[in-house]
Amino acid sequence: MFSQRFLKIWVGGAILSLLIVCGVAAPLLAPRDPQAQTLEDRLRPPRWLESGSQAYLLGTDNLGRDMLSRIIYGSRISLMVGVATVLFAGLVGCTLGAVAGYFGSTADEVVSKVSEIFLAFPFLLIAIAIMAFLGQGVGNLIMALMLSRWVQYCRVVRGEVLSLKERDFVTAAKALGGRDFYVLFRHVVPNTFASVTVIATFGMAIVIITEASLSFLGLGVPAHIPTWGSMLSEGRSYINRAPWLTIFPGMAIFITVFGINLLGDGLRDVFDPKLRRQR
Amino acid sequence: MATKKVGVSRREFLKKSSAFAIGAAAWPQFLRSAHGASRDRVTIFHSSVADSIHPYNHSSSPIYGQWQHVIEPLFEYDFKRKDYIGVLAESWQFQGNKWVFKLRKGIKFHDGTPFTSKDVAFSVERMRDEKGGSLQAPNFKDIVEIQTPDDQTVIFVTKQPNAILLDRLDNRLIVSKAAGDKYGDKLYENLVGTGPYKFVSYQRGGHLVFTRNDDYWGPKAAIKEVIFKKVTEDAARLAALESGQADFINNVPDHEVPRLKKHPRIRIDQLEGTRMFFLAMNFAFKPWDNKLVRQAANYSVDAPAIVRNIFDGIGYPCNGPVGANVLGADPKLKRYPYDPQKAKQLLAQAGYPNGCDIQLYYSAGRYPKDREVCQVVAAQMVKGGFRVELISQEWALFWDKQGVNGGRLPFYYIGRGGLIDADTLYDQYFRTGTTRRTNYSNPDLDKLVEEQQKTPESKKRIALLQQAGKYIMDEALFIPLYNLADIYGTAKNLDWKTRPDERVMARDMRIK
């Protein structure tokens, strides 16, 4: 079970689980209130450095807030935005892709053209435009990311459905009197799940990076909510005097994305029929 | 047996590698000496650069300084002499309800046409044209007529004797009437002035280019080309200065000052600024119409702590409605002490025993550390019983008719630049109808402000301003915060005289 084959999944999964635990149990894990400012203690270095304080393991930021608590709470936004975006974008994208692929003709035309329009823009640009229009906020952020991410699911599912619908088991299901929607969602769509799971994991990593980028640009969530991206952005002007303000949130983003990518990679190896046959 | 030598000998290898090492070690030194400002071009990265090509579509100190490269005022304030000195005007006189300006002779516009009183009258009409996009019209509301009896004389006729007209006419920049007649609506794309620089180009997003006017009527500028580029991120401006991409930046973060003072290629200039920072309340919005809530807000904000902690002590908390150096400041006035308990009591009295929800607007990147300041203010106000939502907007949106100047924002963090006379602040923010920034209206205060504006005698005027200041503090019409130090970073070989009014002008620059 712990074979080489599943190593990536195990490591990636462990990192993701750690993130989930951090996010869910943030109030229990964080030593302090992430928003509580202690101005007298501002810019304290991490505990192990000279002049570091026992009270703050990873030091404090420019307003004297505990870095460790902020990073733990920051995982909530990353997790929430990552999961919600993947779910919504996956739902919308898969449904539209399945319908377009299965029914073809007008439905396919419309969905394909719309998705081509979305694909024509770099997706970070779409997200920035939507955020500038909607304004800051977690809900808006999820909406913006979802609108810029659904296309990926749609294209992949449409392609898979196009090939699946010609297979014998679909013809058989139809011959037995199955209605279109029943056949589509009972027999065809479940067969695309392997690919969707892989895109979803990679997609989640991309969404987390995008959330950090948008927060970095000041377009994410309001200033007082701690997120890794906004921590990086605020810490940047102190990079010479207090590098820990950027190092820790940067590492948090790196480890999270690394873990999720590892998981995605592992899942792809497992699901990929070509790789499976080689073994 | 003879061996064949292959590749590099040991000696040759040592020679080459030591040459490379020396080169690599010397490279940064070489780079440092290589970049510096040049006579041909100075690049200025500024947090605030004109948001449009319309030179009257703003009322912001640094932007006055930018347009003043091309179009000039009648006079300007000399901070050393603490008085106005003539630019396009030679002299002026206050005669009852008239101000008579004698213009300098022999000045020519960039297109060769002579500068006359007609150009002044034409420019003022442009500045008064609010529909045409001017944001400077309120400065002329007391003027009933502009007379131009001859080419060298301009007379401003006011409704009543107006002692503060010079303050209103300061910063009013003059364009050419001939160019206006020629280009009509396209005047600003073809801006013609009398200044030491000519207009070259403007790009949206804040990229201004000027080139030297070699036929300038005054002393010729030393720098040939000037580029202003808008960069709102402190870190990005600083990185540009350190890499040599910019020769001049404003708003250097105070925490970087000790390090930069040791930098071999950079000089830091700092002085007490004339920009006063405060939190303004809009009386058209609840709960700001309630005096108790306003007082509670005053009690819950600790400006000295913000200066001490966020600005490393490089700042000057206001002890009244204006800073100590401003004309009309009252040394007897005190700011509301920091007392969150008292704030809570007042809120409860005002009918908010469970706290009060407010929104605090600001424009991130516009002022030094504004984002941090607003977060600290929010945290302080929470202790005083408020629940604060922070909202950051793009400057153009924040300042324009959709925002502050349309009276649309309930509570906001703002700085009033070039504040040397308390009247400017009182008139703009608290007098009925001058602007819509706070929508405040009170006949008693209006009377005081009007009275001092009519009073030429300085002592009497100051006493009236102090009376108005006391009223403003008693009624807690806003939350005065502090003046900051203006901190500039320049290439070391760029010689520049700092000014307290945030204007950066290439005519003041020399290359050493």
CA distance A67 to A228: 10
CB of B227 closer than 8 Å to CB of B247: no
* C-alpha dist (Å) from residue B377 to A20, A82, B371: 33, 31, 10
The crossing angle, in degrees rounded to 10, of helices A4-24 and A244-271 is: 130
Return d(Cα A15, Cα A254) in angstroms, integer. Answer: 11
The distance of B360 to chain A (nearest Cα, Å) reads: 11
Distance from CA of B308 to the nearest CA of A (A): 9
Residues of B in contact with A136 (CB under 8 A): 391-392
Partners of A37 on chain B (C-beta within 8 Å) are 375-376, 379
Asked if the model's pLDDT at residue B29 lies above 60, the reply is: no
Q: In this predicted model, which residue has the larger pLDDT, B15 or B24?
A: B15
Residue B95 CA to residue B147 CA, distance in Å, equals: 14
Query: pLDDT for B147-170, tens place per residue?
Result: 999 999 999 999 988 888 888 898
Assign A156 to helix, strand or coil. Answer: helix
Asked if B376's CB is within 8 angstroms of A37's CB, the reply is: yes
> What would the mean pLDDT of B384-410 be, rounded to a whole number?
91
B375 interface with A at CB cutoff 8 Å: yes
| Chosen from B234, B375, B390 to mutate, greatest number of chain A CBs within 10 A | B375
Count, residues in chain B: 512
Residue B181 CB-half CA count within 13 A: 7
CA B439 → CA A223, B308, B324, B408, B412, distances in Å? 28, 32, 26, 10, 13
List own/partner pairs for A272-278 with CB under 8 A and 24 or more apart.
Answer: none
Is B390 close to A224, i.e. CB distance below 8 A?
A: yes
Using a CB-CB cut-off of 8 Å, the residues of chain A touching B256 are: 240-241
With an 8 Å Cβ cutoff, are B234 and A237 in contact? Answer: yes
Backbone torsions φ then ψ of B510, nearest 5 degrees = -135, 155
- Give Cα A193 distance to the centre of its chain: 18
pLDDT computed for residue B33 by the predictor: 46
As a whole number of angstroms, the distance between CA A240 and CA A247 comes to: 12
CB within 8 Å of A2: residues ≥ 6 apart: A10
Average pLDDT of the residues in B274-282 = 96
Closest by CA to B111, choosing from B190, B188, B171, B219, is B190
Q: Which residue, among B90, B145, B149, has the nearest Cα to B118 in the 3D structure?
A: B149
B402 touches chain A (CB under 8 A): no
B309 shares contact with chain A (CB less than 8 Å): yes
The partner residue sitting opposite A63, judged by closest CB among B253, B308, B372, is: B372
Q: How much of chain B exceeds pLDDT 90, in percent? A: 69
Interatomic CA distance for residues B360 and B377, integer angstroms:
9
Q: Which member of B308, B375, B392 has the closest CB to residue A63?
A: B375
Q: Give the residue from chain A lying closest to B309, CA to CA.
A: A39
CB atoms within 10 A of CB B147: 13
Tokens of B280: 């303004």
Check whether B213 has a pLDDT greater than 90.
yes
Q: Is B474 left (phi over 0), alpha (psi -120 to 50) or beta?
A: alpha
Q: Is the pLDDT of residue B343 over 90?
A: yes
Looking at residue B32, what is its pLDDT? 45
**Which distant-in-sequence residues (6+ apart) come within 8 Å of B140 by Cβ?**
B124, B127, B128, B168
Distance CA A110, CA B416 (A): 54
Distance from CA of A224 to the nearest CA of B (A): 7
DSSP class of residue B4?
P
Structure tokens at B207: 């990229």
Q: What is the pLDDT of residue A249?
A: 94
More confident residue, B174 or A222: B174
Among B255, B381, B390, the strongest candidate for a mutation testing the A interface, having the largest count of A CBs within 10 A, is B255
Tens of pLDDT, residue by residue over A129-138, are 888 888 888 8
| pLDDT for the residue A276 | 60
Report which of residues A237 and B310 the model is more confident about: B310
Residue B1 to residues B4, B43, B198, B505: CA-CA distances in angstroms? 10, 68, 80, 78
- Dihedral, B339, B343, B346, B352 alpha carbons, nearest 10: -160
**Cβ contacts (< 8 Å) between A238 and chain B: which residues?**
255
pLDDT score recorded for residue A222: 79
Q: Which residue has the tokens 């935005």?
A: A81
Rg (CA), chain B: 26
DSSP structure string for A72-107? HHHHHHHHHHHHHHHHHHHHHHHHHHHHHHHH-HHH
CA of B367 vs chain A CAs: smallest distance (Å) = 14
Chain A touched by B396 (CB under 8 Å): no
Contact A240 B256 (CB under 8 A): yes
> Is A136 close to B392, i.e. CB distance below 8 A?
yes
Q: What share of chain A in percent tops pLDDT 70? A: 96
Chain A residues touching B375 at Cβ < 8 A: 37, 63, 223-224
Q: Give the containing element (helix H, strand E) for B411.
A: strand B411-416
Nearest neighbour of A218 by CB, restricted to B364, B376, B389: B364
Which residue matches tokens 């040791």?
B262
Chain B positions in Cβ-Cβ contact with residue A237 (cut-off 8 Å) = 233-235, 238, 253
Calculate the average pLDDT of chain B. 91
Tell me how far the alpha carbon of residue B327 is from its chain's centroid: 18
Answer whether the bond into residue A226 is a cis peptide, omega within 30°. Answer: no
- pLDDT average, residue stretch B284-299: 96
Taking CB atoms and an 8 Å cutoff, what residues of chain B touch A218?
Answer: 364, 392
For residue A3, the distance in angstroms to the closest alpha carbon of chain B comes to 48
Closest partner CB to B375 (pick from A40, A224, A239): A224
User: Is residue A49 within 8 Å of A42, Cβ to Cβ?
Assistant: no
CB contact B253 to A (< 8 Å)? yes
Q: Do B256 and A42 touch (CB under 8 A)?
A: no
- Which member of B233, B255, B310 has the closest CB to residue A241? B255
pLDDT confidence of B45, banded at 50, 70, 90? very high
- Minimal CA separation from B234 to chain A, in Å: 7
Pairing label, strands B248-249, B494-496: unpaired
**Burial class of residue A179 in the structure, from the number of CB atoms within 10 Å of its CB (0-12 exposed, 13-18 middle, 19+ buried):** exposed
- Average pLDDT over every residue of A149-174: 92
Residue of B nearest to A240 (CA): B256
Q: Which residues of B touch A240 (CB under 8 A)?
A: 256, 259
| Cβ-defined contact of B376 to A63 (cutoff 8 Å) | yes
Q: Is the pLDDT of residue B35 over 70?
A: no
Chain A's closest residue to B238, CA to CA, is A237
- Find all residues with CB under 8 Å of A131, minimum gap 6, and list them: A140, A141, A144, A214, A219, A220
Cα A200–A203–A204 angle (5° rounding)? 90
pLDDT tens across A237-261, in order?
Answer: 888 889 999 999 999 999 999 999 9
Give the count of Cβ contacts less than 8 A between chain A and B: 52
* Residue recorded with tokens 């081509």: A116
List the single best residue of B360, B361, B371 to mutate versus A (max A Cβ within 10 A).
B371
Least confident of B25-39, B255-269, B425-439: B25-39
Q: Is B312 on the interface with A (CB under 8 A)?
A: no
Rounded to a whole number of angstroms, the distance from the CA of B512 to the nearest CA of chain A is 29
Scanning every residue of chain B, which has its alpha carbon at the shortest distance from the alpha carbon of A242? Answer: B255
Name every residue whose Cβ is closer than 8 Å to that of residue B143 and which is 6 or more positions away in sequence. Answer: B124, B156, B157, B158, B165
Tell me what percent of the residues of chain A surpass a pLDDT of 90. Answer: 51
| Chain A residue numbers touching B309 (CB-CB < 8 A) | 39-40, 42, 64
What percent of chain B lies above the pLDDT cut of 70? 96
* Residue B346 CB contacts under 8 Å (≥ 6 apart), including other chains: B292, B293, B295, B296, B299
Distance of CA A250 to the CA centre of its chain: 16
Cα distance from B415 to chain A (closest Cα, Å)? 20
Write the residue in A37, A39, A237 that is nearest to B253 by C-beta.
A237
Task: Please say if the pLDDT value at position B456 is more than 50.
Answer: yes
Interchain pair A218, B392: CB under 8 A: yes
Q: Band the pLDDT of A113: cuts 50, 70, 90.
A: very high
Ranges of beta strands (E only) in chain A are: none
Instruction: Tell me the C-alpha distance between B62 and B483, whole Å.
Output: 16
Q: What is the pLDDT of residue A2?
A: 55
Nearest CA in chain A to B362: A223
What confidence tens digit (pLDDT) does each residue in A43-56 have?
899 999 888 888 89
Nearest residue of chain A to residue B232 (CA atoms): A217
In chain A, whose CA is at the least distance from the CA of B234?
Answer: A237
Query: Chain A contact for B463, CB < 8 A?
Result: no
- CA-to-CA separations, A268 to A154, A187, A200, in angstroms, rounded: 19, 22, 11
Who has greater pLDDT, A193 or B19?
Answer: A193
pLDDT tens digit string along B380-396?
999 999 999 998 888 88
**Rounded Cα–Cα distance for residues B381 and B398 (Å):** 22
Report the residue count for chain A: 279
**B315 φ, ψ to 5°?**
180, 170
* pLDDT surpasses 50 at B359: yes
**pTM given for the model:** 0.78
Where would I find the H helices in B267-393? Answer: 291-300, 303-310, 340-349, 370-383
**pLDDT higher for B8 or B88?**
B88
Residue A33 has pLDDT above 60, yes or no: yes
Q: Could you tell me which of B173, B135, B167, B60 has the C-alpha nearest to residue B434?
A: B135
> Quick check: A37 and B375 CB within 8 A?
yes
DSSP A117: H
Q: What is the mean pLDDT of residues B455-465?
A: 89
Higher pLDDT, A275 or B14: B14
